[in-house]
């Protein structure tokens, strides 16, 4: 393809390297990648796009598209498609990613890309291709529209002979027009009819609904924000500092319903069980359901039956209004009492409304209350900001029962609540009014309401004494990310500090004590566990690799991560425990910690930490289970003093075995080779080869060795570029040198694709202190290139032909000279 190589002499020679460092480096990297694509320097484009993805700030969708384009041009088909998938994960609406996915993919991913392009693509040829793809999947009609203050315009295409109509529903009525096909429309063909439309919008302070129908089928429904600004809330604001008692009116649980009949029916069954607590004979709340134009007949029928039996009040929307429209319609129906916004894919426990109300009225200025859940972002349990598995109803009730006792009366301040289950007091609702019309359906309008409530003096709190099950994204699964991105920009305009506040909240984690208390009180899995002990000096990549190996063998694994005199417990399968912390700095703590560790049903303990403190070793030995001591660094600490007959030393590689035999000749050494990725690289291009350095850890010692080597190489081979494949503790300082490029943090399975554009001629790895079992280092050592490394075996292992085994005691200067000589003669 006329590809020019990405060598130092071509691209770095005339480049101001200061552009690649500092707070604006990401902008320069994106620009350089785009320029290289323009000049068909695809390896160079891949290099810059790849680094951009690995540095701050988090990459946008177009960054992955840049790397995908370069990868595709280099023949890395699967890598390119993977990057497009990641781009669409970041932003499902990204036109560049969807265009390429439609053109390059050969599977069902084309269909998703085509669906997104229909509403956003301006290129007629691509639109026709998208329509053709959707037709093959059984589609019969497609439309796109653009909303302006005084009109809505767009196009519609269809394959059958039925009429098409467009309607605009306003507060004063509905305007409907019949659309005639235009045979000269650019999308029209022998099989497809098409036309454009324009609908005038009357001024309104309320949302309007645009609906396109083809016969009985709804082609598209679009809820558009008001084109006049309303200055009115539902009611006048109330001062939250004035104490008020619980409202005498029953709270109303509002449930908007659209799809997923099974989950929704189960939700209403749980509400029915929760509505009348045992022994009271009275309803604790009332239920208002909104059928938001559900397409599921079973769901429509079930709601109608519940309404007939007077178990719910039911509102039916003729067209889908989305979460905001449905909730606001319900709020207009409810003039008194508190409300609970509840997703239809939740399962609620008995007494949940009463306990949420108790927390809401535990202080006069609390406005909203959110419970814990398996799937509730910061409110998630046991792992926050994650989707934990959805439990059965009886399991949810059991967790909630424990939470109600363990965390009774607790109210923990949060920046905002979340609408999967959000209790709102009448005082707060009167103050902030309805949900904002500015948000597209389904996401972030609940957060906006909570932040407006806080602005008006109300507190948003979590009630960790209540636990609600939540499936999550049942109604708009594929659209969720796009909806969030679209709405997030508007939320940022209103509350510019909110995201930073969320980051600070995650770091502080004020909900952790409540989660830990609940964890401690709940039963833990009875399945035997392997406990893996790692510490501050244990390489995280090695720890992760060992846990991954154990899980592949079907063994339940719990990580014991030591931080000074505290052990953090985390089950690798996402189950309990996740938040527990144990102390072992005193005899009383030691006994208590031992009891908790026994609850994990340990069948053995694997020690990866190089030098665990004696008190921790004492704790481990008291468990009376087998101890596997792994050699993953240069030391085994106090474990080395244990009898060799009862505590063999396990090693993950032949290099580690040779090292151990030379250090501890009397100890039994057990080799268990950890699986390693085999790194196959394409043939070396004769020009512009690079020296690749794969560091094991981002340490100052590693950085000093790299700088020493760079200086030595610059003096003797100034045109030879150095590529650091991985993270360092000073990327910017190294990148400011004209002969060094740093990729940023990578994983072992990425190494081949990352290195390919750099045309690696030689690889240096494992040159710092011994780190055995490191997946990145072990993969680099297997590369189809000459590899230099420190020989921790003391000469016991013979190097491959072309490799350079460096003495373990060589200092940085000697190592640099040896590597430069090796490069020069090979």
Is 383 inside any structural domain?
Answer: yes
Is the pLDDT at 236 greater than 60? The verdict is no
CB 95 within 8 A of CB 121: yes
Kindly tell me the number of DSSP H helices and DSSP E strands found in the chain: 26, 30
Same domain, 505 and 556: no
Same domain, 224 and 299: no
Is 769 inside any structural domain?
Answer: yes
- The pLDDT, as a whole number, for residue 483 is 63
Whose CA is closest to 314, among 371, 388, 363, 255? Answer: 255
Residue where a domain stops, chosen among 204, 232, 260: 232
Burial (Cβ within 10 Å: 0-12, 13-18, ≥19) of residue 522: middle
Token digits for 587? 């005899």
Residue 798 neighbours by CB under 8 Å, 6+ apart:
none
- The pLDDT, as a whole number, for residue 5 is 41
- The pLDDT, as a whole number, for residue 648 is 87
Same domain, 661 and 717: no
Is the pLDDT at 284 greater than 80? The verdict is yes
**Position 652 confidence tier, pLDDT thresholds 50, 70, 90:** very high
Residue where a domain stops, chosen among 180, 199, 232: 232
As a whole number of angstroms, the distance between CA 115 and CA 97 comes to: 13
Q: Rounded to the nearest 5 degrees, what angle is found at the Cα of 561, between the Cα atoms of 558 and 566?
A: 120
Is 678 inside any structural domain?
Answer: no
3-class secondary structure, 692: strand
Residue 273 is part of a domain; what is its CATH number? 3.90.550.10
Q: Which domain holds residue 749?
A: 690-825
Strand 760-765 vs strand 804-807: parallel, antiparallel, or unpaired? unpaired
The arithmetic mean of pLDDT across residues 803-811, rounded, is: 96
As a whole number of angstroms, the distance between CA 488 and CA 480 comes to: 12
Tens digits of per-residue pLDDT, 104-161?
999 999 999 999 999 999 999 999 999 999 999 999 999 999 999 999 999 999 998 7
Token digits for 171? 């507060």
Q: How far is CA 493 from each of CA 197, 438, 448, 498, 715, rounded to the nearest angstrom? A: 32, 12, 11, 10, 53
CB 773 within 8 A of CB 538: no
Is the pLDDT at 278 greater than 70? The verdict is no
CB 614 within 8 A of CB 639: no
Is the pLDDT at 8 greater than 60? The verdict is no
- In this predicted structure, which of 2-6, 555-559, 631-635 has the lowest mean pLDDT? 2-6
Give the torsion sign (CA, 48, 54, 59, 62): positive
- The pLDDT, as a whole number, for residue 640 is 57
Q: What are the phi and psi torsion angles at 257 (to 5°)? A: -125, 135
Largest Cα–Cα distance in the chain?
Answer: 91
Is 243 inside any structural domain?
Answer: no
As a whole number of angstroms, the distance between CA 264 and CA 257 comes to: 7
Q: Which residue shows structure tokens 């891949």?
A: 46
Beta bridge partners of 333: none
Q: How far is CA 584 from each of CA 535, 565, 587, 590, 661, rounded to the nearest angstrom? A: 14, 6, 7, 5, 33
Same domain, 534 and 660: yes
Same domain, 617 and 760: no
The H or E element spanning position 121 is: none
The arithmetic mean of pLDDT across residues 555-580, rounded, is: 94
Is the pLDDT at 609 greater than 50? The verdict is yes
Peptide bond into 611 cis (omega under 30): no
User: Quick one: DSSP state of residue 172?
Assistant: T
Is the pLDDT at 738 greater than 90? The verdict is no
Is the pLDDT at 231 greater than 60? The verdict is no
- In this predicted structure, which of 26-40, 300-314, 671-685 has the lowest mean pLDDT? 671-685
- The pLDDT, as a whole number, for residue 618 is 85
Is 753 inside any structural domain?
Answer: yes
- The pLDDT, as a whole number, for residue 79 is 95
**Packing angle between helix 109-118 and helix 77-90, nearest 10 degrees?**
40
Tens digits of per-residue pLDDT, 300-322?
999 999 999 999 999 998 877 77
**Position 502 confidence tier, pLDDT thresholds 50, 70, 90:** very high
Residue 168 is part of a domain; what is its CATH number? 2.60.40.2440
**Packing angle between helix 95-104 and helix 61-73, nearest 10 degrees?**
30
- The pLDDT, as a whole number, for residue 247 is 44
Where would I find the beta strands (DSSP E) of 554-689? 556-563, 566-571, 581-583, 602-607, 627-630, 649-651, 669-671
Beta bridge partners of 629: 607, 649
CB 619 within 8 A of CB 590: yes
- The pLDDT, as a whole number, for residue 279 is 58
Is the pLDDT at 811 greater than 80? The verdict is yes
Same domain, 558 and 480: no
- The pLDDT, as a whole number, for residue 3 is 43
The arithmetic mean of pLDDT across residues 176-191, rounded, is: 93
Residues 721-751 as b or e (16 or more Cβ within 10 Å = b): bbbbbbbbebbeebbebebbbbbbbbebebb
Same domain, 700 and 814: yes
Same domain, 698 and 807: yes
Same domain, 422 and 283: yes
- The pLDDT, as a whole number, for residue 158 is 95
HSE at residue 248, side-chain half, CA atoms within 13 A, is 0
As a whole number of angstroms, the distance between CA 593 and CA 201 comes to: 68
Q: Which residue shows structure tokens 């500015």?
A: 438
The arithmetic mean of pLDDT across residues 555-573, rounded, is: 94
Q: What are the phi and psi torsion angles at 645 (to 5°)? A: -70, -25
Tens digits of per-residue pLDDT, 359-418?
999 999 999 999 999 999 999 999 999 999 999 999 999 999 999 999 999 999 999 999
Is 272 inside any structural domain?
Answer: yes
Residue 807 is part of a domain; what is its CATH number? 3.40.50.2000
Structural domains in the chain (count): 4
The arithmetic mean of pLDDT across residues 502-522, rounded, is: 96
- In this predicted structure, which of 342-346, 476-480, 522-526, 731-735 has the lowest mean pLDDT? 476-480
Strand 669-671 vs strand 151-158: parallel, antiparallel, or unpaired? unpaired
Give the torsion sign (CA, 291, 293, 297, 299): negative
Is 163 inside any structural domain?
Answer: yes
Is the pLDDT at 634 greater than 90? The verdict is no
Is 438 inside any structural domain?
Answer: yes
HSE at residue 352, side-chain half, CA atoms within 13 A, is 36
User: Quick one: DSSP state of residue 8?
Assistant: I
Is the pLDDT at 729 greater than 70? The verdict is yes
The arithmetic mean of pLDDT across residues 74-93, rounded, is: 94
Whose CA is closest to 438, among 448, 429, 430, 428? Answer: 448
Q: Rounded to the nearest 5 degrees, what angle is found at the Cα of 562, between the Cα atoms of 560 and 566?
A: 105
Is the pLDDT at 14 greater than 60? The verdict is no
Give the torsion sign (CA, 648, 649, 653, 658): negative
Tens digits of per-residue pLDDT, 706-720?
999 999 999 998 889
Burial (Cβ within 10 Å: 0-12, 13-18, ≥19) of residue 444: buried
As a whole number of angstroms, the distance between CA 694 and CA 748 comes to: 10
Same domain, 446 and 389: yes
Is the pLDDT at 791 greater than 60? The verdict is yes
Token digits for 645? 């007959």
Same domain, 611 and 649: yes
User: Quick one: DSSP state of residue 251?
Assistant: P
Q: What is the mean pLDDT of the chain?
A: 89
Same domain, 435 and 485: yes
């Amino acid at each position: 393809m006329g590809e020019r190589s990405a060598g130092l002499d071509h691209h770095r020679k005339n480049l101001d390297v200061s552009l690649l460092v500092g707070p604006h480096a990401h902008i320069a990297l994106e620009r350089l990648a785009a320029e290289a694509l323009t000049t068909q320097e695809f390896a160079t484009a891949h290099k810059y796009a790849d680094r951009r993805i690995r540095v701050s700030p988090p990459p946008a969708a177009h960054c992955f598209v840049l790397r995908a384009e370069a990868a595709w041009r280099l023949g890395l088909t699967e890598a390119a498609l993977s990057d497009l998938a990641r781009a669409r994960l970041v932003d499902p609406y990204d036109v560049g990613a969807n265009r390429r996915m439609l053109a390059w993919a050969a599977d069902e991913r084309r269909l998703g890309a085509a669906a997104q392009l229909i509403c956003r693509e301006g290129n007629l040829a691509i639109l026709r291709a998208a329509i053709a793809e959707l037709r093959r999947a059984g589609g019969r009609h497609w439309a796109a529209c653009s909303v302006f203050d005084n009109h809505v315009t767009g196009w519609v295409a269809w394959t059958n002979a039925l009429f098409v109509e467009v309607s605009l529903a306003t507060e004063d009525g509905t305007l409907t027009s019949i659309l005639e096909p235009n045979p000269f429309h650019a999308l029209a063909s022998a099989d497809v009819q098409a036309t454009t439309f324009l609908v005038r919008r009357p001024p309104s302070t309320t949302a309007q609904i645009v609906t396109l129908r083809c016969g009985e089928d709804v082609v598209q429904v679009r809820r558009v924000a008001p084109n006049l600004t309303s200055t009115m809330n539902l009611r006048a604001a109330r001062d939250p500092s004035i104490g008020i008692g619980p409202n005498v009116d029953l709270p109303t649980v509002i449930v908007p319903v659209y799809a997923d009949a099974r989950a929704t029916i189960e939700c209403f069954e749980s509400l029915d069980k929760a509505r009348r607590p045992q022994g009271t004979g009275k309803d604790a709340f009332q239920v208002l359901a909104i059928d938001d134009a559900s397409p599921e007949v079973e769901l429509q029928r079930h709601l109608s039956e519940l309404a007939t039996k007077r178990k719910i009040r039911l509102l039916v929307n003729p067209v889908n209004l989305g979460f905001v429209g449905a909730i606001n319609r319900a709020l207009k129906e409810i003039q008194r009492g508190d409300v609970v916004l509840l997703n239809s894919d939740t399962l609620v426990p008995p007494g949940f409304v009463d306990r949420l109300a108790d927390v809401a009225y535990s202080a006069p200025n609390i406005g909203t209350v959110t419970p814990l859940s398996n799937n509730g972002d910061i409110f998630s349990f046991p792992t926050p900001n994650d989707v934990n598995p959805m439990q059965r109803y009886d399991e949810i009730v059991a967790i909630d029962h424990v939470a109600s006792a363990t965390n009774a009366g607790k109210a923990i301040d949060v920046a905002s609540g979340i609408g999967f289950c959000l209790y709102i007091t009448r005082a707060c609702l009167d103050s902030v009014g309805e949900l904002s019309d500015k948000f597209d359906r389904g996401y972030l309008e609940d957060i906006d309401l909570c932040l407006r409530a806080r602005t008006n003096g109300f507190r948003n709190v979590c009630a960790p004494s209540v636990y609600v099950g939540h499936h999550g994204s049942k109604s708009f699964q594929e659209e969720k990310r796009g909806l969030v991105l679209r709405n997030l920009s508007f939320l940022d305009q209103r509350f510019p500090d909110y995201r930073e506040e969320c980051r600070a909240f995650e770091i502080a984690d004020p909900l952790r004590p409540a989660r830990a208390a609940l964890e401690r009180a709940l039963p833990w899995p009875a399945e035997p566990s392997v406990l893996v002990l790692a510490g501050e000096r244990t390489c995280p990549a090695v720890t992760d690799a060992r846990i991954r190996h154990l899980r592949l063998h079907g063994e339940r694994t719990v990580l014991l991560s030591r931080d000074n005199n505290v052990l953090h417990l985390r089950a690798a399968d996402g189950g309990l425990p996740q938040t527990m912390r144990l102390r072992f700095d005193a005899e009383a703590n030691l006994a208590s910690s031992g009891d908790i560790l026994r609850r994990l049903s340990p069948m053995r303990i694997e020690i990866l930490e190089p030098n665990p403190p004696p008190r921790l070793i004492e704790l481990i030995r008291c468990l009376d289970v087998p101890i596997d001591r792994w050699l993953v660094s240069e030391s085994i600490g106090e474990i080395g003093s244990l009898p060799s007959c009862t505590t063999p030393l396990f090693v993950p590689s032949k290099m580690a075995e040779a090292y151990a035999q030379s250090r501890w000749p009397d100890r039994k050494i057990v080799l268990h080779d950890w699986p390693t990725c085999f790194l196959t690289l394409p043939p070396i291009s004769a020009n512009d080869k690079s020296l690749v350095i794969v560091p094991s850890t981002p340490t100052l010692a590693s950085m000093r060795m790299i700088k020493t080597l760079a200086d030595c190489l610059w003096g003797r081979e100034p045109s030879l570029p150095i590529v650091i494949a991985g993270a360092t503790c000073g990327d910017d300082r190294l990148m400011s040198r004209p002969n060094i490029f740093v990729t940023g943090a990578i994983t072992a399975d990425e190494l081949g694709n990352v290195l390919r554009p750099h045309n690696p001629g030689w690889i240096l790895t494992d040159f710092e202190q011994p780190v055995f079992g490191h997946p990145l280092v072990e993969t680099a050592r297997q590369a189809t290139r000459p590899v230099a490394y420190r020989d921790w075996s003391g000469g016991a292992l013979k190097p491959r032909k072309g490799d350079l085994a460096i003495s373990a005691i060589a200092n940085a200067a000697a190592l640099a000279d040896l590597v430069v000589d090796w490069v020069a003669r090979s």
